Structure 1
């Protein structure tokens, strides 16, 4: 390699490193890096797959996919297996390599799915940081059937940078989540030690006023103040629970039981499985469970609910059901309330599935499945 070519390669790595160090939004970072990589190498087409521990791939970024691959909202890239993903999952892909043919392209040609723009081959590079693996980087160009050693070496160097950046972003997000939990705990303590105590004192003072006065109008006023203080105390305790579930250290099911008890609900629980739940999934299920039990208290016209909780090595499923008044729900229409929409959004943020069933006089059931 000439000195000029070597300097050019160093310049490429420097520009990509700067992009990777600038952001914490994974999709935006990968898209920008992929565009820069294709521009400086003269390649035209690229995509990045995240691949989870179960071997399932997710299209994380792409540039200039031919119509045959981009058709129908890139469905061909979002499902099914291919040779490069299989090699990665079989631990056979440890460095940058030529993939002689692209199975997705071949399938698209066989199915006459659209124009392939001359793309038939691509290079594949694993994305990793130390022993942690994230997925693969694929790049190619029309009518390019082979990559030279120096091209593969450059791609591998970039892949190492991407893997390191993904690790950094992951650690940063974990730190932010930890900081958020700490802030919630601090706010919960402040509310308990100040506002909660003031409301309790107000309730006692109003009660004393009722007993001390002889005037009916004044008694009614103090009674009204006492009732308001008691309601405010209930709302405050529920808010503190939402900020810092005091029973979550004993497990999610125990915390939901305690929360239901605080709301005045009688809850029956059925638990199967004993797998450990990741922190983010547990937090999401806790928030959804709170919302579901609060809805039961407010709208179901019943004080009984049933919680089903099942864990396995592949994921967790939580079902909360009541036998109350229910409501008319058509799954083909939008979800009718903001709280239910929030549950669905929280579930899908973790690639989970949300199901809602309800009918008048037939009760309501929500089921959440979150994969690991």
Structure 2
């Protein structure tokens, strides 16, 4: 075994150890890429993650030339290139030499800065079994060709990274399932214990109020009954939030059921039919809950207009009530924690959130989320 072979084995061992320890996607990718660049003849590298809609994301990079790192790596985050096109067409199944880097060409044309002698790069898909997750690209100054040994090293490292990506994705799915199971357990416990106690308290207070002839005592029990009924309504809403009945039949049915539970009438319309990704459906469900809660508590109206439009890989949700409204200034901080929570959920999915409201003119919430 020569020194180069020993060095490659040592590098593979170090990267494998890091991948086994990491549980967070981007930290794992950046750490593996850093070790690769430090322990090899490659001087720069970057990793694209590619989703099922053929959209790429710059997930990790190391020692990019200034021409590519300028303006927050703008050239790396947008547009296509030859290696991505080959990946989309299914022509990248192993490590390959790429003739030229299209992004470097654009950087030179637009005079974005020094390319540091890099005009070419090698690329290798990140795979696990039949699944592909993205691309690993590496380069070195004035390098126009990569040897079989270098490409073999890249393939070994890419396979390790691909397997780690799949492990993290499977772990995330398992965590989501466990979270849903815990929500269901908590919902059952609340229904079987606290919910039943509040219901019993309501009946007891009503019975006590009917049994006494003293006006002050009767009013006290009636007040207790009212508070218990209010708490019971809040508890039922909380149980719905933990385990929505009807979500398995679609978002609209779940929201309708929740509105009925709150005593609201949902006037709904749907344009476009598609099975939304679970994380988007979950976000829309939580946002809808918060909006309907606000309608119940503050609008003074029983009717809510609920419009869902799905077109061109974008879902639009509009929720309108003609209630009392409130004075809203978009330049100021969100007026409530609930509205702030809705906004944050939308922004986490790269969407837009707008709220329009004025005193006496109702409230309109508009949401757009790409998918």
TM-score range, shorter chain: over 0.9
Q: CA separation in 1, counterparts of 2:325 and 2:77? A: 37
Q: Deviations over 1:250-298 (max 9, x none)?
A: 2211010111112222211112333222322221211111112112223
Q: CA separation in 2, counterparts of 1:297 and 1:102? A: 57
Match of 2:351 among 350, 353, 364: 353
Q: CA separation in 1, counterparts of 2:181 and 2:221? A: 39
Q: TM-score normalised to the size of structure 1?
A: 0.94
| Post-superposition offset of 1:12 | 1.4
Q: Which moved more, 1:111-120 or 1:168-177?
A: 111-120
Q: Which moved more, 1:168-177 or 1:71-80?
A: 71-80
Q: CA separation in 2, counterparts of 1:338 and 1:69? A: 40
Q: Which residue of 2 aligns with 1:90?
A: 89
Matches within 5 A, 1:285-296: 285-296=284-295
Q: Which residue of 2 aligns with 1:60?
A: 59
Q: CA separation in 1, counterparts of 2:139 and 2:28? A: 20
Which segments of 5 or more consecutive residues in structure 2 lack a partner in the other structure?
A: none
Task: State the superposition RMSD in angstroms.
Answer: 1.9
Q: Which residue of 2 aligns with 1:6?
A: 5
Would the aligned equivalents of 2:347 and 2:353 in 1 still touch at CA under 8 Å? no
Q: Deviations over 1:305-352 (max 9, x none)?
A: 1112234683533322223344455556654433223223222333x4
Q: Deviations over 1:40-61 (max 9, x none)?
A: 1132211111112222111111
Q: Which residue of 1 aligns with 2:275?
A: 276
Secondary structure of 1:358 counterpart: strand
Q: CA separation in 2, counterparts of 1:73 and 1:332? A: 27
Secondary structure of 2:39 counterpart: helix
Structure 1 stretches of 4+ moved >4 Å: 327-336
Matches within 5 A, 1:267-346: 267-311=266-310, 314-329=313-328, 335-346=334-345
Matches within 5 A, 1:16-35: 16-35=15-34
Would the aligned equivalents of 1:326 and 1:358 in 2 still touch at CA under 8 Å? no
Would the aligned equivalents of 2:264 and 2:302 in 1 still touch at CA under 8 Å? yes
Q: Which moved more, 1:316-325 or 1:276-285?
A: 316-325
Matches within 5 A, 1:196-275: 196-275=195-274
Q: Which moved more, 1:152-161 or 1:295-304?
A: 295-304
Distance verdict in 2 for CA 1:58–1:203, change over 3 Å: same
Q: CA separation in 2, counterparts of 1:268 and 1:342? A: 24
Report how many residues are paired: 370
Distance verdict in 2 for CA 1:277–1:9, change over 3 Å: same
Would the aligned equivalents of 2:357 and 2:364 in 1 still touch at CA under 8 Å? no
Secondary structure of 1:92 counterpart: coil
Distance verdict in 2 for CA 1:359–1:195, change over 3 Å: closer
Q: Which residue of 2 aligns with 1:48?
A: 47
Q: Which moved more, 1:190-199 or 1:142-151?
A: 142-151
Secondary structure of 1:41 counterpart: coil
Which segments of 5 or more consecutive residues in structure 1 lack a partner in the other structure?
A: none
Distance verdict in 2 for CA 1:190–1:219, change over 3 Å: same
| Post-superposition offset of 1:302 | 2.7
| Post-superposition offset of 1:142 | 2.1
Q: Which residue of 1 aligns with 2:165?
A: 166
Q: CA separation in 1, counterparts of 2:193 and 2:155? A: 57
Distance verdict in 2 for CA 1:10–1:259, change over 3 Å: same
Q: Which moved more, 1:168-177 or 1:288-297?
A: 288-297
Q: Which moved more, 1:319-328 or 1:266-275?
A: 319-328
| Post-superposition offset of 1:112 | 1.0
Distance verdict in 2 for CA 1:152–1:333, change over 3 Å: farther
Q: CA separation in 1, counterparts of 2:88 and 2:364? A: 37
Distance verdict in 2 for CA 1:325–1:229, change over 3 Å: closer
Would the aligned equivalents of 1:275 and 1:313 in 2 still touch at CA under 8 Å? no
Would the aligned equivalents of 2:30 and 2:61 in 1 still touch at CA under 8 Å? yes
Secondary structure of 1:135 counterpart: strand
Q: Which residue of 1 aligns with 2:35?
A: 36
Distance verdict in 2 for CA 1:299–1:214, change over 3 Å: closer
Q: CA separation in 1, counterparts of 2:68 and 2:331? A: 29
Q: CA separation in 1, counterparts of 2:40 and 2:19? A: 17
Q: CA separation in 2, counterparts of 1:127 and 1:258? A: 44
